[in-house]
Structure formats: C-alpha cells, structure tokens
Structure 1
Amino acid sequence: MTRIDGDAIDRALRAAVDTSRPWQEPDGEDFFAALPEVKGALTSIAQHVMTVSSTQWWTQDRQVEQWALDWRPAHDPAPLPRDPVRALSAWASDTRAEEVRAEKERPRNPRASWSGTWWSFPQGTLQTIGRVPLGLNLIEDSVGEEHATVIPVRGAGRTYEIRTGEDWVSLCRDHPLEVTASRRHDWFRCTGHDGKWIIPDWEKVAQRWDAVHLTALAYLTGANRALQVDADAYTVLAGWNPDTTMWLTDVAREWEGPRQHWQRSTYQEAWTNTLDDPISHP
C-alpha cells in the first residue's frame, strides 16, 4: 500500500470537518463512503492512518497549551469571554424556552421543511483549541475567514474527556436535557432517525466539571450520528470541532506571550503568522 504523508492526512481531516453539516442530509460522497464494499476497501488505509506519527494527537487529552480564536483582524481586538455562570444560565433558559415554543409551533413530521437550533453545546462560553495553525482549518462548515487573532490560554481544573462516542453518551445520560422538538427536523435530516433527542444539561455538567474536551478521534468516529442514550432516547454530537475544549467555569485565563495574528492566503490553502516568520500549514 502507498504510504500516506502527514500533509495529505491533514488535508483530508480539514476537508472532512469543513464539509460537516449536521443540519442537512448526507450528500452523495457520504452515501458512497457508507457502502459496505467501500468501507471494507478503506479499512487498511484507516488502520495505516492511525499508526503514523502525525495522527497520534488525535487521541490526546486536553493539553496544557491552549489557544482561543477570535475571527477578527489585529486592529479589532476583543477580550476573552468571561462569566460562564451567566452564559450557561442564559443558555439553559433560552434552550428550555425554545423547546416549549417548538413543541407548540413546529410540525411533528420530521420530514417537514423546518430548521432551527442544531448544535449540542452552549453558546457564549470560552472555547480553545490545542494546535495552531492546524486548528484554524478544523472548523465545521467554515465561512472562509481570512483573519484570526490567536490568544494563548491556560486553565486548570477537572476536565471531562470525550475520547469516544460512548463518553458523549455517558455525559448525556448523567445530565440529560430533552431537546426533541427543537432538534427534530435537523437531526432527522442528518441521521435518518426520528425519536426522542437528548443533549447534556450544561449547567449541571458545570457543577461537576470545569471543562469538556473533544478529542479528534471522538469527533471523527462520533459526530453527526444518532447515538443511543437509553431505550428510547438518542443524541447527536453536533457543532463541535475536533480537539476543542469548552470551559464551563471561570478557571481559564489569557497567558503570557503575545497574541498571534494569522491571515489566510489568497488561495485559502495556508495561514501565515503576520508577526513572525511566515509559517503555513495545509
């Protein structure tokens, strides 16, 4: 078998993340890749990919060195998000209110042309990545951002590691919040499953954990699939990027060292650090 180099693997990972759309039906490539014959033919390649040195970080837990991303140029700086208690409280209130409205107003037919909230994590909390510049390209359904301010961050505390889909399921099972009415149509299109949908109650998760980290391998094996929580409930890991840490309590701070300012090339193939020697990565 032809050996696959690290750059080719990174490009494939970037493409997989960029084309992930948890609110719509699988496309032709998705159906083709799911065929038993195709999956069987790709097994040896997948086994090889998991042995090369450039993919060993796919299984790593949250690293000490983290980076927050601000998708704005250097002349438009912004502080890091703070007050996660307020952010999670607002998220919980909005999520429950949306569920009540959706139950009353939205059709129960999962095939109805309707879309709403489809992600499974709270907005407004601090999120960080573990690798720069690679992480700048691992953004679900990116809109072609051309500028990024990269902020060094350090945080301590209890981190829940999502290493497999079952780890995500366990988090949902331990702290369930039903979102069937608000996710029904998007997640049916994505997974083909119609039933009861669950996500974590992030306010309750924050009472036990300071952060939740999604490994790259868990993303690749678990995202955008209907994962069974119990006899009648399922969940979807949707909207997260690989190797992303979500901070649920106020334990993370901007760290020593300058903010970095990166700019995407004209052909959108590489990012360059505009303050240091040019560094690019596919």
Structure 2
Amino acid sequence: MAGGGGLVVVGTPIGNLEDLSPRAARCLREADLVACEDTRRTAVLLRHAGAQTRMVPVHRHNEAGRVADLVARMREGARVALVSDAGMPVVSDPGSRLVRAAADAGLPVEVVPGPSAVIAALAVSGLAGGHGFAFLGFVPRKGPERRAALDRLDRLTVPAVLFESPQRLPALLDDLAARWPARPLAVCRELTKLHEETVRGTAAEVAERLAEPPRGEIAVVVGAAAAADGDDPAGSAADERLREAMAILIDAGVGAGRAAEAVAALGVAPRNAAYRAGLEAAERRRAAT
C-alpha cells in the first residue's frame, strides 16, 4: 500500500497493550485515519503506539453512513486503519461493510494479524483437539433464537467458543448444565490482563462455581459433543442415573430442593445439576398428568 490509499485491518490487544505488534504500531502511525469503535479507548492505544493519527468513529450505529465517505477518501489516496476496541476487527465487531466496500471499489485491503479472544480462549481451554472449532459469538438473550443457538451445540463435533456478558453468564451456564451436565467447559475471564482466570470442569461443576456474575470480559469454550456424549459413555450413564434418581424422588413427593441436597450428599452429582434435573423431572410429571 506504499504511496497509495487503501484499507488495513489491524488486530489490537484484547487487554494487555504489550501485545500490540511492532507492525501494527507502525501501521497506526503511518495511517491518515484510524476508523475505530470508541475514540476514547483507541486514543489510549494510539498513545501507546506513539501515533497522533486522527480518529473517525465507525461503530454499529453509524457504519453504514460512514462507508461511502471513507471509500472516497481512500480513492483520493488516504490510508485508513480499521481497529476494534479489542482484538481482530470484524470477527465480532463492526467493520465488515467497510472491508467489503473497499474491496468492491478495487482498493487494496490488507490485514495485520493480532490478538483474538476467540483463539486465546480456545488455546487456554484445554479443549482444542486440532480438528477445527466453531465460533458462535454472543448467545441471544432469550426466545427461539437462544434455543436455536444452543441447539447448534447439541451434536457439534468440534469445540465451540461463545461470548457472554458477566451479568448473563450464570444464566448461560445454567442452560448448558441443564442440557449437558457432563459436557466439558472452560470459562475464560480477563484474558491477557492482570486478573486472568480460566475455570475448567463439567458444565454442572462450572455452573456451580460461577453461580454469581464474575467481573471482566468473558469467553466460554464448550467441548465437542462427541467428547461428552459419544466418546464418554461413563458420563452419559452418570447423567441418566441422575435423571432416574431425581425422577424417583420427585414421584415420591420429595421437593426438588430437598431431593437435590440428598443426591448431592450421596455424591451422585453437584447440587445445582441435581436441582435442575429435579425441575425437569417435576415438569415431565406435570405434563404427564
């Protein structure tokens, strides 16, 4: 792109400014404009890179209206760097319209790879198997869209990476544990930052450990369905024993809470998983009457 206009997609740190590559810093310094989500956050990044480049806000609310102007500037010779607030632009952030428009206009489009919360979470989760993965982004909050998103995980034979807000994480973990108590999970929090933490275990175990909303940015890695269902018959058998035990207790008139405490005390399953199985058993009993 030397001497001419065009677009360069720049990967930025997901939390630790030291992860900004020398090439990325140079591109930010040499650009004529930096298209960014939040000028306040990007200003910190530019100071770290030693850049004084002018910023142009490009976010989900105004991207459609900004694309034509930015393409026109690139045609006139401007070099535009596209960044997100954190990580690789476009993956789960705005910018795809600008990239397509620049490419359709015949302008050079380059990429400077950088940190990605998706890849970082997959790498640290211990669940990557070398056979690919799925990225589902943020899970819809409710309704048919949420059920459809979770249904995609039902027989997914590769790990899946999800994003979720801290406030909604317990609800997501409860949904995952209710469907697949033995499914392996990893919840990655504050990746690359001072308080980075990864919580690993089965869906039921992780849901119990993170019953309260944690702080920070969250990525969830869900193990492949085959690992939980097809390749681990012991796990499937344990799930079936839990459902049978709770159904017997519910049919005997024991409340879901007391039944869950009894099952947990016997070491059959964590209380949270047992309680959810009890609620399901109670619902089936009501439906059958």
TM above 0.5: no
Which TM-score applies when normalising by structure 1?
A: 0.24
- TM-score with structure 2 setting the length: 0.24
Pick the structure with greater CA Rg: 2
Higher RCO (CA < 8 A, seq sep 6+): 1
